[in-house]
Amino acid sequence: MDEMSVAELSAACRDGRLSAVALTEHFLARIDTHDTRLNSLISVCRERALSQAAAVDRGEPAGALAGLPIAHKDIFCTQGLRTSCGSRMLDNFVAPYDAHVVERLDAAGTVTLGKTNMDEFAMGSSNETSFYGPVRNPWNEAFVPGGSSGGSAAAVAAGLVPAATGTDTGGSIRQPAALCGVTGIKPTYGRVSRYGMIAFASSLDQGGCFARSAADCAAVLGAMAGFDARDSTSVERDVPDYGAALSGDISGLRIGLPREYFAEGLEAGTRTVLDTAIAEYERLGAQLVEIDLPHTELAVSTYYVLAPAEASSNLARYDGVRYGYRCEAAVDLEDLYSRSRAEGFGREVQRRIMVGAYVLSAGYYDAYYLKAQKTRRLIADDFRRAYADVDLIAAPVTQSPAFRLGEKVDDPVSMYLNDVYTLPASLAGLPGMSVPAGFVDGLPVGLQLLAPWFEEARLLNAAHAFQQATDWHTRRPAGFE
Ligand code: GLN
């Protein structure tokens, strides 16, 4: 069961060769055995999982993912289950409805095993800002799994679940996928509905998924994607059959290598791994083209103005009045607001709210927020020009493999700089993936692939072609047998 693909597991459950209940029990047992070390799950919903699985076994209508055990990032609302967003603020919040993504996956037949740990309100690159404690990297427990969807990435890497959902605002699917050695896809902004996905920075937030292979991601993404009238930025556009697009043929594909990404800052060991992966693409028939994305260096400062600005507005709803954390014995309304927020939010979230309120304030709006909107456009235009000449872009995900727990937690700027290679595509709303490409000192390295808007099928096929020719994505961390 540990080696079967998503398609194989679902096919076997559908035609009764495999019991969905037995499959669920198998993965729940793996969680019991291994997750005390990793802390990748905030909640495990055993009863609900077994009853969903029993329905599949009874032959109740289920779609393409019948019986597939899955875990949802705890940012997705799940009806009747705690949805914490990694925060004390929502520690007591039981969602009254399901996110669109959850509805879709339920309808496809998936079995929800639990909710994965994450950086508080998805703010972070290391999974150390969670109210529920840090997640550990299964390849070496002294290292971070990346963030903010680090729980999902670690759970898939350790084989606690075959697939998991995540969200990516500035890299939170691609970066933990890279650091944990799994495959992750963030689709085009608008491809997956944000309904019921707790908002961080609404113009950037996008749901996606993690699995071991591109083929598995194709199956899961196919079930998640599609128009939803309840999200005003959801795009009304047909979802192609991603699985059918996996021909594995990439001959003639023009892959752009941005000069600005393969420059100073990229560590030598990581560079060697990526050079080898890119050479493999050339061997498979791709044509490599050097390209320029000249505004790349503006991405970190642009993102760290815009994302906090949107966050400060989105997080204004947590006021201690309607739901979520409320302080004890408030003396008046002002005290209720300020103490509920001071006690309910962690330090990083408070920092973002302060920065966001500052850049949106009357005196600084033009200098920071408006300027950042303009540089965001320049960054997107760089990609638009590049895609006139290339079909896909290949780049690093991070400068180096995972760093140690605690190493950057007190230095926000160095934590933010960790996102240099993932932020530009987020600002442009482009689809991107991280594909396992090798190891440095026993820690995984990911290759980032980016496609033009709505070309997820091309992206998945390019990742699939690489995975047909290499076995990095099949490697398992020791100690999780
Ligand atoms: N690391 C980035 C941040 O902290 C991205 C997070 C994300 O994509 N959710 O904002």
Per annotation, catalytic residue among 40, 43, 73, 149: 73
| pLDDT at residue number 417 | 87
**Which mutation among 87, 120, 123 tests ligand 1's pocket best, with the greatest number of atoms within 8 A of CB?**
123
The residue length of the chain stands at: 481
Quick: pLDDT tens for 166-193: 999 999 999 999 999 999 999 999 999 9
| pLDDT at residue number 481 | 86
Q: Is 84 one of the annotated active-site residues of the chain?
A: no
Sequence-separated (6 or more) residues with CB below 8 Å from residue 238: none
Q: Is 73 one of the annotated active-site residues of the chain?
A: yes
Measured from CB, residues less than 6 Å from any atom of ligand 1 are 122-125, 148, 168-172, 200, 307, 419
Taking the C-alpha atoms of residue 152 and residue 41, their distance in angstroms, rounded to an integer, is 8
| pLDDT at residue number 308 | 98
Nearest ligand 1 atom to the CA of 173 is 8
Per annotation, catalytic residue among 152, 172, 213, 434: 172
For residues 150 and 141, the answer to whether their CB atoms sit within 8 Å is: no
With a cut of 70, list the residues of the chain below it in pLDDT. none
Specify the 3-state DSSP secondary structure of 466: helix
**Ligand 1 center from residue 55 Cα (angstroms):** 37
Two tokens at 405? 């727990």
In one letter, which amino acid is 446?
G
**Which mutation among 76, 129, 172 tests ligand 1's pocket best, with the greatest number of atoms within 8 A of CB?**
172
| pLDDT at residue number 159 | 98
Name the E strands within 192-237: 206-211
| pLDDT at residue number 339 | 98
Q: Is 152 one of the annotated active-site residues of the chain?
A: no
What number does CATH give the domain 6-249+454-474? 3.90.1300.10
**Ligand 1 center from residue 422 Cα (angstroms):** 9
Taking the C-alpha atoms of residue 59 and residue 265, their distance in angstroms, rounded to an integer, is 54
Domain limits, the chain: 6-249+454-474
For residues 97 and 196, the answer to whether their CB atoms sit within 8 Å is: yes
Quick: pLDDT tens for 11-66: 999 999 999 999 999 999 999 999 999 999 999 999 999 999 999 999 988 899 99
| pLDDT at residue number 357 | 97
